[in-house]
Amino acid sequence: MDLSFLVVVVIITALVFDFTNGFHDTANAMATSIATGALRPKVAVAVSAVLNLVGAFLSTAVAKTISSGLVDDSKMTVPIIFGGLVGAILWNLVTWYFGLPSSSSHALFGGLIGATWIAAGASAVNFATVVQKILIPAVAAPIVAGVVALLGTFLAYKITQRARKKSVNDGFRAGQVASASLVSLAHGTGDAQKTMGVITLVLITSGSLAQGSAPPTWVIFAAGLAIALGTYFGGWRIIRTMGKGLTEIESPQGFTAETSSTAVLLTSSHLGFPLSTTQVCSGSILGAGLGKRLAQVRWSVAGRMAMAWLFTLPSAAIIGAMAGRVADTGNAGVVIVATLAIVAGGGLYVAARRRPVTAENVNEYPGSTAPAPTTATAA
């Protein structure tokens, strides 16, 4: 097997995953601002893209967790990493097609774990790290973010109950521009690092970097740029679900949801916990919905999201394991896996175009009776 060829292929594949991560997770930062009219859809994704790129340079703690903590890098091979990435990309595209805000982070972890386990055995997976830094935070983080958002929403409405509704909405919409921007910054800080960690792991595995090395500057820039471009592309199907599908969001709820998410995400990134931005932000939106008296929460949508979360790790692991096994047969295997992945991804994109969700109809959720919001800011 031509190792140099495979390293290049895997780095490109990692950046493709980063791109899908960007458009898959744009909703985390901007769905509520778009739903309330605080920002126009296309302006929102442009702002989010720039801040994702900036956020990528703020920390590398999560990248080090992935490159030297999740799996035993001495037992890794480049085809294993390739298979894991393919598993993550395909699961991202499947959930995007159905408009389900599942975790890109867990798709990546599942793909890597499945490919590693099938090729190098269970001993190559650091299950203590998986439990401590992935599974436990995955359960705790959305609950914490949801409780904080619930309390924040309750207080926001309590404090402003005597004020004019228009003044309250206008004020919180202006605040949402700042709070949504902070979520984008936090997303870049956390999620771009995951691709940095994978590319660094590839370079360590191929002998280009010493074990335990931090991501080189060019890796940080490439990962930040890829996720920023994906964010600008706009994952409108998921933005619609998070902004209009879970609950009818008003500007005070949007502000508290975004602020809660930012606090949890930035704290976890600097502690090296690779949290799912999707789960944190979804928890915040649910909490914000419950924090307003008589607010409507669509539990059927929340249930479908929970099922997607539950199946993300094992589904990506199965796809990653199969892709890694085929890729491990040589260059021909790598080409076969890449071709099948491109065909599958292209098929999902073509199918999605039959019922497109765009910046123009993103706030038109099926079954919603609330009118589309009017954009309050000049942006």
* pTM, entire model: 0.84
Residue 351: predicted pLDDT: 94
Residue 52 and residue 184 in contact, taking contact as beta carbons nearer than 8 Å: yes
Q: Position of tokens 């999201």? A: 305
pLDDT bin (cut points 50, 70, 90) of residue 378 is very low
- Write the pLDDT tens digit of every residue in 209-231: 887 777 888 998 999 999 999 98
Q: What is the largest CA-CA distance in the chain?
A: 71
- Write the pLDDT tens digit of every residue in 354-374: 989 988 888 887 765 555 554
Taking residues 316-338, report their average pLDDT. 90
Taking residues 22-43, report their average pLDDT. 86
Residue 32 and residue 243 in contact, taking contact as beta carbons nearer than 8 Å: yes
**DSSP label at residue 330:** -
Rounded distance between C-alpha atoms, residue 39 and residue 31, angstroms: 10
Tokens encoding 317: 């692991």
Residue 31: predicted pLDDT: 85
pLDDT bin (cut points 50, 70, 90) of residue 3 is low
Strand partners, 125: 71
Q: Which of 58-72, 190-204, 219-233, 297-311 has the lowest mean pLDDT?
A: 58-72
pLDDT bin (cut points 50, 70, 90) of residue 133 is confident
List, as one string, the DSSP characters of 164-179.
Answer: -HHHHHHHHHHHHHHH
Rounded distance between C-alpha atoms, residue 204 and residue 202, angstroms: 5
- Write the pLDDT tens digit of every residue in 142-168: 888 889 899 999 998 888 888 888 888
Residue 26: predicted pLDDT: 82
Distance between start and end Cα atoms, the chain? 52
